[in-house]
């Protein structure tokens, strides 16, 4: 593969949650575009595997790859880790916040600590990562931020109260951050993917209540690579909201039809909760 143009090679993309799933696929997409890439996640072994893979595929192009372990729920640890990423590969020109967790359960059946962990990781963790680079982006008067949200942020789903709340919060966070960043040349985008085939989805499905499956299971999951390409292309075009797939686009623009959609959800859930005859 040929060398990337110098302007592209100088970019430094930091990806939280970059060791697997959508984050790892986005790291691949930017590496293919010639960028230096730093990965942040909690598990050192997974990060090391991904870093070695990137180096084997793209290291001959002179690109640099770095990795740091941190839990994005810890603001101090996240700031220090991203600072080390910038020390290794230069100023962060693009931040991608893909770290997230989902643990579906009916609200009153889920322990408070598991509910809180989803809010802390998905929403507060995203804010912690942005905070770590936002000030320096303002000083340079340039930068791009891509938040990985979810289609679940556009509507409530049975068994996903914490997850939906965290992802809906990201939509509001992105809109406010966009207004604050625009005067300084910073663009902010949020990608709202549908179910995506990742290790996390496999674990989630084992916990998913049947009342949720009758709704979510009607939409075919995307591949992580397809979501990553949609997200990166959307950011390159400076789209504020990126909606991969027709189902998510329709949901995002449901507007006056939202009450009808909610009633349809309610009917599907009610049928799923009916006792099976003879049992």
Residue 248 lies in a domain: yes
pLDDT at 7 over 90: no
| Residue-by-residue DSSP string for the chain | -PPPPHHHHT-EEEEETTTSHHHHHHHHHHHHTT-EEEEEES-HHHHHHHHHHHHHHHGGGT--EEEEE--TT-HHHHHHHHHHHHHHH-S-SEEEE---------GGGS-HHHHHHHHIIIIIHHHHHHHHHHHHHHHHT-EEEEEE--GGGSS--TT-HHHHHHHHHHHHHHHHHHHHHGGGTEEEEEE----EESHHHHHHHHH--HHHHHHHTTSPPEEHHHHHHHHHHHHHTT-SEE--SHHHHHHHT-GGGHHHHHHHHHHHHHHHHSPPTT-
Residue 277 lies in a domain: no
Q: Write the pLDDT tens digit of every residue in 154-183.
A: 999 999 999 999 999 999 999 999 999 999
Residue 162 lies in domain: 6-272
pLDDT of residue 33: 95
Residue 155 lies in a domain: yes
Q: Which of 7-21, 124-138, 156-170, 220-234 has the lowest mean pLDDT?
A: 7-21
Spatial CA neighbour of 137 closest among 172, 177, 185? 185
In a domain, 278, yes or no: no
Q: What are the pLDDT digits (tens) for 29-50?
A: 999 999 999 999 999 999 999 9
Tell me whether residue 1 is in a domain: no
Q: Is residue 259 part of a domain?
A: yes
pLDDT category of residue 218 using cuts at 50, 70 and 90: low
CATH code, 235: 3.40.50.720
Number of domains observed in the structure of the chain: 1
pLDDT score at 268: 66
Give the Cα separation of 15 and 255 in Å (integer). 32
279 within some domain: no
Q: What is this structure's pTM?
A: 0.89
> 41 in a domain, yes or no?
yes
């Amino acid at each position: 593969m040929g060398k990337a143009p110098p302007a592209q090679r100088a970019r430094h993309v930091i990806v939280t949650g970059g060791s697997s799933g959508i984050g790892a696929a986005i790291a691949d997409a930017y590496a293919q575009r010639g960028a230096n890439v730093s990965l942040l996640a909690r598990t050192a072994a997974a990060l090391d595997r991904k870093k070695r893979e990137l180096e084997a595929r793209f290291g001959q192009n002179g690109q640099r790859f770095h990795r740091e372990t941190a839990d994005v729920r810890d603001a101090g640890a996240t700031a220090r880790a991203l600072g080390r990423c910038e020390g290794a590969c230069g100023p962060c020109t693009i931040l991608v916040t893909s770290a997230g967790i989902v643990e579906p359960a009916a609200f009153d059946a889920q322990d408070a600590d598991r509910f809180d962990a989803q809010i802390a990781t998905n929403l507060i963790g995203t804010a912690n990562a942005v905070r770590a680079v936002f000030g320096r982006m303002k000083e340079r008067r340039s930068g791009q931020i891509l938040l990985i949200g979810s289609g679940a942020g556009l509507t409530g789903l049975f068994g996903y109260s914490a997850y939906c709340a965290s992802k809906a919060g990201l939509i509001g966070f992105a809109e406010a951050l966009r207004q604050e960043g625009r005067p300084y040349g910073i663009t902010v985008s949020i990608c709202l993917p549908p179910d995506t085939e990742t290790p996390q989805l496999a674990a989630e499905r084992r916990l998913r209540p049947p009342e949720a499956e009758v709704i979510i299971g009607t939409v075919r999951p995307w591949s992580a690579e397809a979501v990553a390409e949609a997200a990166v292309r959307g950011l390159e075009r400076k789209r504020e909201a990126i909606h991969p797939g027709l189902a998510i686009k329709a949901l995002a623009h449901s507007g006056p039809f939202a009450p009808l959609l909610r009633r349809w959800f309610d009917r599907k859930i009610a049928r799923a909760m009916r006792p099976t005859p003879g049992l």
